[in-house]
Amino acid sequence: MFLIDKLHRYFEKEFNLSELDSIKLKYSLEIIFSELSKLFILFALFSILRKRTDFIYSFLALFLIRTFTGGLHFKTYGKCLIFSGLFFYISIFLKDFISLNFTIISILFIFSLFTIIIFDPITHESRPSYSYKKKKQFKIISIILLSSHFLICFFADKSPYFINSIWVITLQSIQLLIAKEVNIYEKKKIHFQKTI
């Protein structure tokens, strides 16, 4: 992309970056532009569907929790965009059609809490693996965020943000289960190919 290449060259020259730092910078710029463009497209789509506020609430909740839990990653921009759109649509659909009461909130909280406790943060294969200490920090932050959202939801009756966030966190927990299974499958596939 022209703009990414131009920015990359500018920073590379301006700060006299090493080869490794230059590669990291280009990767970071590609991620930032990719995520911003997806956000813009999804915002426009949910504005057309008259669900802009729900999308903003859902995005904020997902951004907070996913930063520390990780999740599914796709190899192409298109697949990632479609999955993200479906993820937000389902979270909004659930919010609109299933009323939350004390029992449902408690079940969703317990499920999400156990999922986050059991699984380490799931990162993309192109990123370096986290140290044990970092994983533990991320897990603690995730548990605090999760518990805060569910606790406030009990007391902030009918708050649209927290109703959205409960469904987003629950779907994110399901996504972690799927991502873990995908990672196990991929490792088995690589191991099998090496043995052939």
Tens of pLDDT, residues 88-105: 999 999 999 998 888 999
Fill in the amino acid letter for 116.
I
Mean pLDDT in runs of 10 for the chain (196 residues)? 79 80 80 90 97 96 91 88 96 93 92 91 70 89 93 81 94 92 75 66
pLDDT at residue 75, as a whole number: 84
pLDDT at residue 192, as a whole number: 66
In 3D, which of 118, 123, 119, 114 has the Cα closest to residue 170? 114
**Model confidence, pTM:** 0.85
pLDDT at residue 88, as a whole number: 97
- Cβ atoms of 173 and 115 closer than 8 Å: yes
First to last CA, the chain: 39
Q: How far is CA 68 from CA 62, 119, 120, 127, in A?
A: 10, 12, 10, 14
Helices and strands (H, E) in the chain, number of each type: 7, 0
pLDDT at residue 128, as a whole number: 60
3-state secondary structure of 16: coil
pLDDT at residue 125, as a whole number: 67
